[in-house]
Amino acid sequence: MANFTLKVNGTTHQVEVEDDTPLLWVLRDHLNLVGTKFSCGIAQCGACTVHVNGNATFSCVTPVSSIGNSEVTTIEGLSQEGDHPVQKAWDEVDVAQCGYCQSGQIMTAAAFLEQNPSPTLEEIDNAMNRNICRCGTYHKIREAVALAAKTK
Amino acid sequence: MTMKTQTGTSRRDFLKIAGTTAGGLVIGFNWFSCDSPKMEVLSIEQVLAQAKPFNSFLSISPTGDVVIFSPNPELGQNIKTSFPMVVAEELEADWAKVRVAQANLDPEKFERQLTGGSGAMPHSWERLRKAGATAKAVLTQAAAQTWKVPASELTVSKGMISHEGSGKKGHFGEFVAVASTLTAPEEVTLKDKKDFTIIGTPVKNVDAKDIYTGKPMYGLDFQREGMQYAMVQRAPFGMKLVSVDDSAARAVAGVTNVVTFGSSVAVVGTTTWPLLKAKKLLKINYEPDGAVESTADHDRLFTELLASGNAEVKRKDGNVAAAFKAAAKVVTAEYQCPFLAHSPMEPENFFAHVQGDKVELVGPTQTPDRARQETAALLGIPPENVSVAITRLGGGFGRRLRADYVVEAVEVSKAINAPVKVTWSREDELTGGAYRPAVRYRFEAALDANGIMTGYKLKGVGMNAGNTTREGNFPSGAVDHLLIESVEHASTITTNAWRAPITNFLAYAEQSFLDEVALAAGKDPVDFRMELLNRAKTNPVGELGYDVDRMIGVVKMAKEKSNWGKNPSVKQGFSVYFSHKSYVAQVADIDMQGGVPTLKKITAVTDCGLVVNPTGANHQVRGGIVDGMGHAMYTNLTFEAGVPKQRNFDTYRLIRLKEVPEIDTHFVDSGFDPTGLGEPALPPTGGAIANAIFAATGRRLRSQPFIEQKEFSDLQLQIKRG
């Protein structure tokens, strides 16, 4: 067990966990930030996506010991009122079916648009291909990312 | 036209208000993190604290806020939005004042509290309408009494009751107290469908905001003070536990216990991560407890059982032997599909707290009552001692119709005498059983000299599939001499309903084979199907399991909307299927421009009767097609010595965003009451794509997944939208 100081959503937290504990489980089991989802655990589906220093990151394979002073942002911290342009676009397009993968989808899209504010449709496809949606909401995900790019 | 209907309201349904508060109905458990209340909009809890229950489905507060309870588990089929839409329509509620609450399991109040078979809407359509109409009638009566005017002179719209003569106007809440002294009428008038203002409009998902801000709402998000976490190692299929060495697992920091029940071993701890590590350190000895099967065994069994199995005759029309003897041409083909896991994005999990002869259950289930019954049976306690709170489900696809993962949580809670949440890893989910069964079909068709199909034989062999056929389905009723048989093999590999059970693969096989027969008959695939449908309409053979006119309706519209056969550079594949009371025709377009086959579009025409929520309906059709396409193209589950070889999404391949073509959806306005859409769009897709691939390349794909077939390997099929 070791002590880690983490900056998550602008707040500093102390946790005592094993070095190899993935950020995902620190967020979910220790900080009660359960908006970040567990699904595959091996960086294949993207349900666990968070931002580490603004980069979309699979938290399920990111050991807590690798975070250091980096700023972690989860879906709960993406915006104060749920009104980040990507969240608004998701609502406008009414993307979700079961909804379980959508926080990861939104985090991937938000980081992507930060780095590429005016993407082509092909760039959107490439960026969003890393997240799986088992319900098959892919058409709406693509539409919502394009809308967010237009409105942000 | 409006319709008078008996309410069927019983005293049980219609709760007198005196002394009742509904506050306990909605939140039977505490989330650690709750919404920060916004004062301008009352939360469900705030509304319920002062609301009066009108019946099982709705409560109305003096503020005029309406809480509608959604009894059925929500797993993405959007029932939590569409059910309340129906109640609110007949209530004439203001949708902006409606809050929706997930009801807990309560068989006293609700019938059929389950999600499966696309059956919720057809089952509840009338009941929901009556619930809304009955409450409206009582509120209207209360207003009439308050204002001393005849109820017949009152109008109700958007949560307001008005009396034109006196100019009086008031919202629902103002009449709740008086309404509580009245009794529900025996008969109510339902609205004319043409007057619907909520039904038929695109209403957004009622949980959208919570989903997009990461609020705790799924079973996996549930936490309780003092709760332990657990993960379970299950035995390979056909094996049983002999002994376990748990010393290394127990040595992992954060592991508090290891318990064994049956052939399962549970590691218990204070958080999840130590359990994922500890489970891998368990040293378990198993021994055979039945057939330890591999995929090679299944392939051999399929061949043997098709040749010699004890087939059960499911349907027999005419004299099949004579028809094949007299045939000018016979077409034969075999089709095969693998086992599949359900792989909902949220892995199986459940919270259980056993306390003496009482049990509290919380989690994602499609069948809360089964969870209750199996728990009661396990512990030998009355079912009413088991409470079940239904969380939102991160997908289901049929997996959560079973209660195996619920009962595990009960076993662990009982063993450690503490509240516990059992979580499955993805590896547990893919190796833990209850799969879509593997099936092989053999088809034979007899054609006469005019290319008329005079004989048709279908024999299916399934691995724990039950009946592998749907013997009443098309082309039954359109062929004079027909034989449909099914053979069951009792495999040790467990199976379960999987979105559109059996038809999820049978439709592909049937619709592909019909294309093979059309080709042999020298006919256009759509013309060939129409010829058969016209036969079934004018002179049906035996009983029809489908409505011919509705099927013809979707065929014709799909032909028109897809520009069938009009563009020489686009090669098309057709498919039409009836399942779960809805009719869906699909056309897949493969563009051959530039010499590279490119799957660009799927056109889907659906007759599900009245479309309650166009947004939800579009979602279900497109999602069903993506699901049907993904599994037909990419996904396989194979076995070696009773253990699946694909253990996570790196090898168990699910369809991704770049792999979906454009999907163009249309709905037939057939005038029928609504049927469900969670399943019917999935079955036709594999056939439409396979038939398009054949039209484009001459390659016939008779096994899934396509990418593993040698006929597909060098096609270099591209998928592009637009």
Cβ atoms of residues B89 and B191 within 8 Å: yes
Q: Which residues of B touch A137 (CB under 8 A)?
A: 619, 623
A91:B209 CB<8 A: yes
Query: Could you give the angle at the alpha carbon of B702 between the alpha carbons of B697 and B704, nearest 5°?
Result: 105
Residue of A nearest to B218 (CA): A100
Residue B45 confidence (pLDDT): 82
Report chain A residues whose CB lies below 8 A from the CB of B75.
98
| A32:B32 CB<8 A | yes
Distance of alpha carbon A19 from alpha carbon B223, whole angstroms: 24
Confidence (pLDDT) at B41? 59
Q: Model confidence over B293-312: pLDDT tens digits?
A: 999 999 999 999 999 878 99
pLDDT for position B593 = 86
> Which residues in chain A have Cβ-Cβ distances shorter than 8 Å to B615?
94
B258-282 b/e (C-beta count within 10 Å ≥ 16 → b): bbbbebbbbbbbebbbbbbbbbebb
Identify the residue among A1, A60, A134 best suited for mutation to test binding to B, counting B beta carbons within 10 A and taking the highest.
A134
Q: Are A149 and A118 in contact (CB under 8 A)?
A: yes
CB B699 within 8 A of CB B691: no
Q: Which residue has the higher pLDDT, A99 or B110?
A: A99
Residue pLDDT, tens place only, B340-367: 999 999 999 999 999 999 999 999 999 9
* Spatial CB neighbours of B507, under 8 Å, sequence gap ≥ 6: B500, B575, B577, B579, B683, B684, B686, B687
Count CA within 13 A, CB hemisphere, residue B217. Answer: 26
Residue B6 above 60 pLDDT? no
Largest CA distance in chain A: 47
Q: How far is B274 from chain A (nearest CA, A)?
A: 8
Residue B115 vs residue B576, higher pLDDT: B576
Per-residue pLDDT tens over the stretch B122-143: 999 999 999 999 999 999 999 9
- DSSP letters spanning B17-85: -TT---HHHH-SS--SS-PPPPTTS--HHHHHHH-EEEETTEEE-TTS-EEEEE-SPPSSS-HHHHHHH
Predicted confidence at residue B7, as pLDDT, reads 47
Q: How many CB atoms lie within 10 A of CB B592?
A: 15
Give pLDDT, residue B722.
62
ipTM higher than 0.90? yes
Contact A35 B214 (CB under 8 A): yes
- The mean pLDDT value for B511-530 works out to 98
pLDDT of the residue at B409: 98
Residue B119 banded pLDDT, cuts 50, 70, 90: confident
Residue B43: what pLDDT? Answer: 77
Is it the case that residue A90 has pLDDT exceeding 90?
yes
Residue B27 confidence (pLDDT) above 60: no
**CA atoms within 13 Å, Cβ hemisphere of B469:** 26
Asked if pLDDT for residue B18 goes beyond 50, the answer is: no
B contacts of A93 (beta carbons < 8 Å): none
How confident is the model over A75-98, as a mean pLDDT? 97
The strand pair at B439-447 and B453-463 is best described as antiparallel
Q: Do A22 and B273 touch (CB under 8 A)?
A: yes
Residue B4 has pLDDT above 60, yes or no: no
Distance from CA of B614 to the nearest CA of A (A): 12
Contacts of B211 in chain A (CB under 8 A): 96, 99, 102-103
Burial B85-103 (b: 16+ CB within 10 A, else e): bbbbbbbbbbbebbbbbbb
> Quick one: average pLDDT of B248-255?
98
Nearest Cα residue in chain B from A91? B208
pLDDT tops 90 at residue B182? yes
What residues does B520 pair with on adjacent strands?
none
Answer yes or no: are the C-beta atoms of A48 and B283 closer than 8 Å: no
A141 CB neighbours in chain B (<8 A) are: 657
Q: How far is B623 from chain A (nearest CA, A)?
A: 5
- Tell me the one-letter amino acid at B204: K
Task: Please report the pLDDT score of residue B31 as a whole number.
Answer: 23
B426/A41 touch (CB, cutoff 8 Å), yes or no: yes
Contacts of B457 (CB under 8 A, 6+ apart): B320, B324, B442, B443, B444, B445, B482, B483, B484, B485
For residue A132, give the nearest of B33, B77, B649 by CB distance. Answer: B649
Mark yes or no for CB contact B623/A91 under 8 Å: no
Q: Which of A25-29, B99-103, B475-479 has the lowest mean pLDDT?
A: B99-103
Q: How confident is the model at residue B19 (pLDDT cuts 50, 70, 90)?
A: very low
The whole-number pLDDT of residue B26 equals 22
Alpha-carbon distance A142 to B666, whole Å? 21
B566 residue type, one letter: K
Q: Which of B277, B393, B615 is closest, CB to CB, to A98?
A: B393
Say yes or no for a CB contact (<8 Å) between B208 and A94. yes
Residue B324 has pLDDT above 80, yes or no: yes
Q: Residue B705 has which token pair?
A: 């997944």
Q: What is the DSSP letter of B705?
A: S
Q: State pLDDT tens for residues B579-596.
A: 999 999 999 999 998 889
Name chain A contacts of B272, Cβ cutoff 8 Å. Answer: 25, 28-29, 38
Instruction: State which residue of chain B sits closest to A60, comparing Cα positions.
Output: B273
CB distance B271–A125 less than 8 Å?
no
CA distance B345 to chain A (A): 6
d(CA B620, CA B201): 16
Q: What is the CA radius of gyration of chain B?
A: 28
Distance of residue B149 Cα from the nearest chain A Cα, in angstroms: 44
Which candidate in A32, A112, A139 is best for mutational testing of the B interface (most B CBs within 10 A)?
A: A139
- Tell me the pairing of strands B52-55 and A49-52: unpaired
What is the dihedral angle through the alpha carbons of B591, B505, B364, B434, rounded to the nearest 10 degrees?
-140
Amino acid at B296: A
Question: What average pLDDT does the segment B594-618 reach?
Answer: 95
DSSP conformation letters of A33-51: -TTSPPS-SSSSS-TTEEE
pLDDT attached to residue B118 = 86
Whether B20 has a pLDDT exceeding 80, the answer reads no
Mean pLDDT of chain B: 92
* Cα–chain center distance at A31: 16
Q: Are B99 and B37 in contact (CB under 8 A)?
A: no
- Residue B346 to residue A39, Cβ atoms within 8 A: yes
Tokens of A59: 């938290």
What Å distances lie between residue B689 and B74, B108, B367, B677, CA to CA?
A: 30, 46, 33, 21
Could you tell me which chain A residue has the CA closest to the CA of B36? A81
User: In terms of Cα–Cα distance, which of A34, A136, A98, A77 is closest to B628?
Assistant: A136
Residue B478 tokens, joined = 């359109």
Residues of A in contact with B658 (CB under 8 A): 125-126, 129
